[in-house]
Chain A
């Protein structure tokens, strides 16, 4: 039987951040993830925003952790060599009723200790965002709202954790938890049991099901679907900041913002479901995005959409972020209610949980040889001519462009496959280096990426999957 000190269940943003945080200590840590790759479910399909927490419910754990997390990102992203931009958000008001809501929103920000929210006049907002509906009367500016690449964020956290000794058991599903004398002993998985002293449930959408293995499911999780459009980098109507609607009682509403890589992101919807596997887009949802966002950005050109996707937020019932330890079940930490702020607060949740464990008596001596930084795959397209030439001279595969839309080279794809916790699937390559993320959506590079993955991993092309097992790209050979 495998043995470890700590098992983290789930390799989404929270699980990956926890893995990195605990890898700073002399601990044996194992992450168990049901999917074939890092990035979880909700962590990879969201609006990719690092929030300030200005609109959280004051006084809650969620508010504290989001507000604490935001300032951490400059350093974390620098250390992990991933892109991050503080582009700011605006909340434009287009009528008197919306104008009247602004003071309450600003006050809430103050209660959350987000002190840098400012009023802007309609003219100022139009200068910041020329594509805004010219009827804008005024609004708020939240300067530290930021954008990130959510795939790379999780992957980089996990990679760095793995470089510091954390083991990752991917495509491994937890099917039970054993306890003895009021303490956890074993995580049972479909690939075998893992003996451990501590278990952290960071299973997001499925955290209620994990909690049920130890009888701590005094809540349940329902998915709240969010559908999005991604627009071409060259779309006719672009914004520079995160343009947020004034929230209504029902929803935070649909936003438009740039992505880390220069596309436009438009969405999301908010649809409460029961099926945690329903990741389908639908016409009604997509049409509702169009109608709502046009009120703020009249010229948004959804015909320039290159893809649409759907993410599921984990809606806890009753709601609220909860991080619990139990007197009658030693060694078990339950994290629940991680929702749309989860990508942001993951790094603070990780620190909070680590502290909680140490306070509870976990022996955790800081490492003296923690590797703080990670070097990412070179962003070939962004290099200078000299740097490009140098890279190709060193490794000619960097001279072979595979994805023409994003100018991704064979060198980058091979690096994505062979680095720590490397890509094993088409989506894995796409999320690490963006091959197939452009306007042709893999139409050109798809067949070539399959060939490269098969060659580099020494498998048959018909074993190459899009993501999880069962998602094979091909069905055997021709006659």
Chain B
């Protein structure tokens, strides 16, 4: 194999990887490589044929493939190298080990590496839904791929468990394709996904949303024949006896949460945050290994691709700066979660540079104030009509507010 050393190697060619590569190139990196396991760039965006992308970043409404296309064009217009159909098996010391039918097993050397592997869906096994194990149980994303990319119908009579964005979008998609969506059941007493998706995908199509409900049994030996839905006690989340209702259906789609895909990250020994399940990063998107950066859903699950793009462009820039030796090293302080804050990303902050702190609330609440504190001094305060764990918020912190402090805390009160 050639002795070439890339400035930046990007693992994953979805929205995060594309923006990271573009960002790295714009920041002056010479040799940039994207390694993508699918047959084309764009990642999950390629199966997201619905609109709603780009409202923030491009100020216009695009479909997933259209949004991806804009970045793919940028990659094509540059001399960024792309390896498609290629699975990365290992992230090593300034290197990645990959495999594809053409090159076989190869090692690529890089001065910095950007992890942009995205996330995967929680499965039936992970949520432990009891019952039989027939055909017709799909995660919403797998079903989306089958319907939108392989042109196959996964079922005709559908129940959806979980009100994640993909689940709600698939409720609309299946309806448009002539399937009957009987209900969306959600364990929590609020929707997991964006409000706009609840309105546009469920309410507008008259699909019932059953909050504080779950599936207690899957029926059918060969193909799904039905699911039993029961109400849960909002406090304990345990099914309430006597509330079981059988929904006869041939398909169950699961939209019960996304998990950052960090097999490679963990194997490499990079520090993982137990709440986000992604690598801990600073505002430069630098992981616990200073030459490894990470961005997009592999770090924490985003609700808008626009945010992923923004974050990933920066990750690419900083990865390029690191490769070129211009990224400053500094002492870092932690970001700390206060009242009603589930997590903050980045977890570490370099006080000498401005930082955008993204966070999610732990529980939905109306009429709140989000606040940031440098140690005990309030440095930011903003009133919000409501806060919802399904919608990410952020606070920007300036260097002058962080000098000499030991941590930055965010609270929602």
Which stretch (B25-33, B141-149, B321-329, B335-343) binds chain A?
A: B141-149
Which stretch (B101-109, B300-308, B368-376) binds chain A?
A: B101-109
Chain B nearest CB, measured from A22 CB (Å): 32
| Cross-chain contact A475 with B120 (CB below 8 angstroms) | no
**Given the contacts A277-B221, A392-B105, A400 and B100 also touching, CB distance less than 8 Å:** yes
Asked if A167 is at the interface of the complex by the 8 Å CB criterion, the answer is no
Asked if A282 is at the interface of the complex by the 8 Å CB criterion, the answer is yes
Asked if B59 is at the interface of the complex by the 8 Å CB criterion, the answer is no
Question: In the complex, what distance in Å separates the CA atom of A467 from the CA atom of B121?
Answer: 24
Which single member of A309, A393, A405 contacts B104 (CB below 8 Å)? A393
Asked if B130 is at the interface of the complex by the 8 Å CB criterion, the answer is yes
| Cross-chain contact A474 with B153 (CB below 8 angstroms) | yes
**Interfacial chain B residues near A399, Cβ < 8 Å:** 99-105
Q: Name the interface size band of chain B.
A: 35 or more
**Given the contacts A400-B85, A475-B155, A447 and B126 also touching, CB distance less than 8 Å:** no
Chain B nearest CB, measured from A194 CB (Å): 26
Which stretch (B131-139, B378-386, B402-410) binds chain A?
A: B131-139
**Chain B interface secondary structure, helix, strand, loop or mixed?**
mixed
Chain A nearest CB, measured from B219 CB (Å): 8
Q: Digit string of B245-267 for contact with A (CB within 8 Å is 1, else 0)?
A: 00000110000000000010010
Asked if B217 is at the interface of the complex by the 8 Å CB criterion, the answer is yes
| Cross-chain contact A389 with B105 (CB below 8 angstroms) | yes
Asked if B183 is at the interface of the complex by the 8 Å CB criterion, the answer is no
Asked if A262 is at the interface of the complex by the 8 Å CB criterion, the answer is no
Which single member of B130, B134, B263 contacts A471 (CB below 8 Å)? B134
| Cross-chain contact A447 with B222 (CB below 8 angstroms) | no
| Cross-chain contact A281 with B178 (CB below 8 angstroms) | no
**Interfacial chain B residues near A407, Cβ < 8 Å:** 87, 89
Tell me the residues in window 120-171 of chain B with beta carbons closer than 8 Å to chain A beta carbons: 120-121, 123-126, 128, 130-136, 138-139, 141-142, 145-147, 149-156
Q: Digit string of A440-472 for contact with B (CB within 8 Å is 1, else 0)?
A: 111110110011000000000110011111111
Which single member of B104, B152, B153 contacts A389 (CB below 8 Å)? B104
Task: Tell which of A401, A465, A472 has the most Cβ of chain B within 10 Å.
Answer: A401
Chain B nearest CB, measured from A411 CB (Å): 9
Which single member of B123, B130, B155, B250 contacts A286 (CB below 8 Å)? B130
B239's nearest neighbour on chain A, judged by CB, is A283
**Given the contacts A281-B130, A282-B130, A399-B101, A474 and B123 also touching, CB distance less than 8 Å:** no
Question: In the complex, what distance in Å separates the CA atom of A470 from the CA atom of B222?
Answer: 6
Asked if A361 is at the interface of the complex by the 8 Å CB criterion, the answer is no
B254's nearest neighbour on chain A, judged by CB, is A443
Question: In the complex, what distance in Å separates the CA atom of A461 from the CA atom of B135?
Answer: 14
Chain A nearest CB, measured from B81 CB (Å): 18
Asked if A234 is at the interface of the complex by the 8 Å CB criterion, the answer is yes
A462's nearest neighbour on chain B, judged by CB, is B152
Asked if A86 is at the interface of the complex by the 8 Å CB criterion, the answer is no
**Interfacial chain A residues near B221, Cβ < 8 Å:** 277, 279
| Cross-chain contact A306 with B104 (CB below 8 angstroms) | no
Chain A nearest CB, measured from B166 CB (Å): 12
Asked if A95 is at the interface of the complex by the 8 Å CB criterion, the answer is no
Question: In the complex, what distance in Å separates the CA atom of A478 from the CA atom of B49?
Answer: 14
B104's nearest neighbour on chain A, judged by CB, is A392
Asked if A377 is at the interface of the complex by the 8 Å CB criterion, the answer is no
| Cross-chain contact A281 with B100 (CB below 8 angstroms) | no
Question: In the complex, what distance in Å separates the CA atom of A286 from the CA atom of B128?
Answer: 9
Chain B nearest CB, measured from A426 CB (Å): 8
Chain A nearest CB, measured from B171 CB (Å): 16
Task: Tell which of B150, B152, B155 has the most Cβ of chain A within 10 Å.
Answer: B152
The 3 A-B residue pairs with the shortest CB-CB distance, nearest first, are: A396-B101, A307-B125, A466-B135
- Offer 16 A-B interface pairs, CB within 8 angstroms, sorted by A: A280-B131, A282-B130, A305-B128, A308-B128, A388-B105, A399-B101, A399-B105, A404-B263, A443-B123, A446-B138, A451-B150, A461-B152, A470-B223, A475-B251, A476-B153, A479-B177
Binding site for A on B (CB under 8 A): 37, 85, 87, 89, 99-105, 120-121, 123-126, 128, 130-136, 138-139, 141-142, 145-147, 149-156, 177-178, 216-219, 221-223, 250-251, 263, 266
